[in-house]
């Protein structure tokens, strides 16, 4: 039985090779299971044909070309009307944490997710860019629609290392500078920062007409409080620590985490933002499919 990489355990998939290879394998698998393009754009003016690939919507199939040449082609539209997407990747120190050696760190997972997302969008001829941040903006790659642009993105993503603290607002403000027209902002982060501040910025993006997606990356080890009978828990970004007994706080902690996730979810829903809670053990295909399904519903 052939395993689809997009449905395998992320850690196992990561063993296959570098980010690019993994992302391509994931995307291939992912697209093979779809009947139409997952992240279709807004443009209406025809630009060129490209060969049909599984997952493309049949409505974009060029039936005349099929009748003439008996070959499947999909119509592509003008670049200026294509979607412009900016991936905003959190590379703060908190992202470089893994609760178990058999898992990807949040950052490694996020890098592969970003790679897959960017590949999908570039294949749709959507202009895709990247902003990486920690306590400041670390990397900015403007959105391009060329297929080779993905390699540029990947070289930068590969070079990203975990940084210091977390400050998402400057990065998100940078998005408004880079997306002059309506576009798509995708925030990939563990969201360990001031929620209200970031939500205001995200809401500002929505006011500017952009669509916003948030991928809340979380290690399963963050869902439950585990550890020795008593331990000093230390924040890798700020160095702030506190002594706690996991056994005493476990239930309350779990409740706090679930409440936080629900708060994020409802806050995003109220602002028209796609929110996806993603565990680092979730196969990439599931995440992509869920995100695609949501986008389909939102139109």
Partner 1 sequence: MISFLHPLALMALAAGAIPALLHLRSRRLPPVVVFPAIRYLTATEREHSRRLKLRNLLLLLLRTLVIVFLVLAAARPILRLASGRSHPPSAIVLVVDNSLSSGAVVQGRQMLQLIGDAAREALSQTNSGDHIWVVLADGIPQRVTRTEAARILDNLVPLPIRLDLGRAVRIAARTVADEALDGKRVVVFSDLQRSALTRGEVIDVPLLIPRIGKLAVNRWIDSTFSDPPLWSPSGTVATAVGGTDDRTTTVRLSVAGRVLDRTVAGSGDQVVLTGQLDGLGWAVASVELDPDELRADDVRFTALFSAQPAAATALSGAGEFVSEALQVLQGGGRATSGTDVVLGDRPIQGTVVLFPPADPASLGAINRALADLGVKIQYGELLEGEWQVAGDLGTVTGSAVFRRHRIIGPGTAFAAVANEPWLVRDGEVVLVGSRMEPEWTELPVSAAFVPFLDQLINQVAAHQRWIVDAAPGDVVTAPPSASEILGSNGASPIPGDHRLVAPLVPGVYFLRDAAGDTVGALELNPDVRESMLEPADDRTLRTHLGQGTRITSRQDLSRLMFVDDKRADLTWLFLWAALLTAVAEFALANSGRSGRQRP
Residues that bind partner 1 (CB under 8 A): 93-95, 97, 190, 192, 222-225, 227-237, 240-244, 247-258, 260-262, 277
Query: Is the CB of residue 282 less than 8 Å from the CB of residue 258?
Result: no
Is the CB of 162 or the CB of 285 nearer to partner 1?
A: 162
Is the CB of 188 or the CB of 192 nearer to partner 1?
A: 192
Closest separation in Å from C-beta 224 to partner 1: 6
Closest separation in Å from C-beta 167 to partner 1: 15
Question: What burial class does residue 65 get, using C-beta atoms within 10 Å of its C-beta: 0-12 exposed, 13-18 middle, 19+ buried?
Answer: middle
Is the CB of 177 or the CB of 262 nearer to partner 1?
A: 262
Q: Which residues contact 235 (CB under 8 A, 6 or more apart)?
A: 94, 241
Q: Which residues contact 158 (CB under 8 A, 6 or more apart)?
A: 18, 19, 111
SS3 83: coil
- In angstroms, what is the C-alpha Rg of the chain? 20
Closest separation in Å from C-beta 86 to partner 1: 25
Closest separation in Å from C-beta 165 to partner 1: 11
Is the CB of 228 or the CB of 299 nearer to partner 1?
A: 228
| Among the listed residues 166, 299, 282, the one whose alpha carbon sits nearest the alpha carbon of residue 215 | 282
Is the CB of 161 or the CB of 296 nearer to partner 1?
A: 161
Furthest C-alpha separation in the chain: 74
Closest separation in Å from C-beta 179 to partner 1: 29
């Amino acid at each position: 039985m052939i395993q689809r990489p997009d449905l395998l355990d992320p850690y196992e998939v990561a063993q296959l090779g570098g980010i690019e290879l993994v992302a391509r394998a994931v995307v291939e698998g992912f697209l093979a299971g779809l009947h139409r393009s997952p992240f279709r754009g807004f443009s209406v003016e025809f630009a060129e044909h490209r060969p049909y690939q599984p997952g493309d919507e049949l409505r974009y199939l060029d039936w005349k070309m099929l009748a003439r040449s008996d070959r499947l082609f999909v119509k592509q539209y003008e670049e200026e009307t294509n979607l412009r997407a900016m991936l905003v990747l959190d590379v703060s120190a908190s992202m470089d944490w893994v609760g178990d050696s058999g898992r990807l760190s949040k950052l490694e997972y996020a890098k592969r997710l970003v790679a897959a997302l960017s590949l999908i969008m570039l294949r749709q001829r959507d202009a895709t860019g990247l902003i990486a941040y920690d306590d400041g903006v670390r990397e900015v790659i403007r959105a391009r629609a060329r297929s080779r642009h993905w390699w540029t993105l990947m070289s930068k993503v590969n070079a990203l290392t975990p940084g210091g603290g977390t400050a998402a607002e400057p990065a998100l403000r940078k998005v408004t500078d880079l997306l002059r027209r309506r576009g798509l902002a995708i925030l990939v982060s563990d969201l360990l920062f001031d929620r209200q501040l970031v939500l205001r910025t995200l809401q500002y993006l929505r006011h500017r007409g952009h669509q916003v997606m948030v991928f809340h990356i979380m290690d399963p080890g963050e869902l439950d409080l585990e550890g020795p009978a008593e331990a000093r828990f230390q924040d890798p970004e700020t160095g702030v620590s506190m002594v706690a007994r996991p056994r005493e706080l476990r239930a309350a902690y779990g409740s706090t985490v679930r409440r936080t996730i629900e708060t994020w979810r409802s806050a995003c829903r109220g602002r028209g933002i796609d929110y996806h809670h993603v565990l680092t053990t979730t196969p990439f295909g599931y995440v992509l499919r869920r995100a695609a399904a949501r986008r389909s519903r939102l139109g």
